[in-house]
Each structure stands twice: as C-alpha cells, then as structure tokens.
Amino acid sequence: MTSSLRLHVVVPVTGMGARDSAALAAGLGPGVAVTWSRIETGPASIESELDEALAAPDTIAKVLDAARSGAAAVVIDCLGDPGLEAAREVVTIPVLGSGQTSMHVAAMLGYRFSILTVLSRLIRVDEEKAARCGLASRLASVRSVDIPVLELEQDHERLTEALAEQGLRAVRDDGAHVIILGCTGMLGLADSVAAALAAAGAPGIPVVDPLPATLQVAAG
C-alpha cells in the first residue's frame, strides 16, 4: 500500500539509538508512514539549555531537508524542542515539538499534569517551558528520576520503578491527574508506568508518551 502521508522525525542528539519507523507508524492509521533522521553535529544528549542551543542548528537543517523531500510534517524528538520556533520560520509544513505538544495533550486529558524529567537541573527548564506554552497553571510539578539520558536504555526495570515512584508522588503529593514521561528516551514505557501506578493505588492515571502522542497529533 502506498503511503499518502509521510511524517518525519528529527532526533536532535547524536548519542541515542536508532528509531524504528514501522513501530512509530503503528496505530497512526492506514497510509501514514514515518521516516527519521538524526543530527550529525551537536550534543550526545540534551540535559541543559546549552545542549538545546547546540542541537538547534543541525536540527533546523534536518527539518529543512525533510520539508524539501516532501514530508507532510516534522516532529522534533526531544522534550526540549530544540530549534522549534526557528524551524517553523523556515518551512511551510507543520513542525511539532514533542515537549510543547505533549503538554497540550496532557492538559486535554486532565486538569493538572506532572512531568517526570531525567535530572533535577531540568526542573526549572521544564517549568519555564510550561509557562511559555501558557500552561503554568496546569503544571502540578516537575519531578526528576535522576537518571542521565544516555543511561535510560540500560535498565528499563530500574527506570520504570523510578518513574512509577515519582509519578505516584506527583499524584498523591502534587495533585497531578496526568503524567508526562519527561524524555523521549523513555519511549515505550507509558503502559508499564501506568500499570505500576495502578498497582500502587493510583488507577486510571493517563501517562503521556511524548513521541507517539506528538505523531498522533501530526497525523491528525
């Protein structure tokens, strides 16, 4: 079957593993394909505003490449959304940031949401991003699992436990109704975290997996 809609994912770091295009396209509907590319110049991971700034130039270049090759929309595969606004200035197709989009999705799923980020130094950064999105009043908290980005794929059991622990605290102590996985390196763990929350006495809490959620929005 020929795809009628192609979405392109830009991975704005040099140190993460490959993305599975078929897995990303699963559930997006018939005729939707996903392609991806990774920046060649920039940080291995994004754990600061400096990293975001260093990732932006090649991210914008990859967005331009995707637009020129006929992509219908581009998704930036990072909660930091490096280069998002600048990329929107140079192409005529939609460019969606996983961070911005996932916060708006969370705000539609419940009144207050919490972000589970990787390191404590990103708490302020995420709080400021929520404010720039007009969602400061909907942000219950930003909590950290204290696991660096490049270690996220090493032990999914440890990561899931840490996410569930902080997620439960966000629900019970901070009043969160929705949880956002605070790094796209946590891809695929939303169901496990939701199940762990339910087992701990917090059933029915939506857990937003930012990259798939953003692709769903891009696919319409």
Task: Annotate 59-105 with DSSP letters as a single string.
Answer: HHHHHHHHHHTT-SEEEE-STT-TTHHHHHHH-SS-EEEHHHHHHHH
pLDDT of residue 200: 96
Nearest Cα residue to 56 out of 79, 34, 39: 39
The pLDDT tens digits of the residues spanning 28-58 come to: 989 999 999 999 999 999 999 999 999 999 9
CATH number of 99-209: 3.40.50.12500
Query: In degrees rounded to 5, what are phi and psi of residue 143?
Result: -120, 155
pLDDT band at 3 (very low <50, low <70, confident <90, very high): low
Count Cβ atoms below 10 Å from residue 175 Cβ, excluding itself: 12
Calpha distance 152→203 (Å, rounded): 25
On the question of pLDDT at 1 being above 70, the answer is no
- Per the rule left: phi > 0, alpha: psi between -120 and 50, beta: everything else, 201 is left
Calpha distance 127→8 (Å, rounded): 28
Within this chain, domains 5-98+212-219 and 99-209 share the same CATH topology: yes
pLDDT of residue 31: 92
Calpha distance 195→51 (Å, rounded): 33
Mean pLDDT over all residues of the chain? 96
On the question of pLDDT at 165 being above 90, the answer is yes
3-state secondary structure of 180: strand
On the question of pLDDT at 196 being above 50, the answer is yes
Give CA separation, 153 vs 136, 183, 215, in Å.
30, 12, 21
Count Cβ atoms below 10 Å from residue 26 Cβ, excluding itself: 11
Q: Which residues make beta-bridge pairs with 181? A: 116
Cα dihedral 50, 138, 134, 58, rounded to 10, equals 30
On the question of pLDDT at 4 being above 90, the answer is no
What architecture is the 5-98+212-219 domain classified under in CATH? 3-Layer(aba) Sandwich (3.40)
The domain limits of the chain are 5-98+212-219, 99-209
On the question of pLDDT at 193 being above 50, the answer is yes
DSSP state at residue 23? H
The pLDDT tens digits of the residues spanning 111-124 come to: 999 999 999 999 99
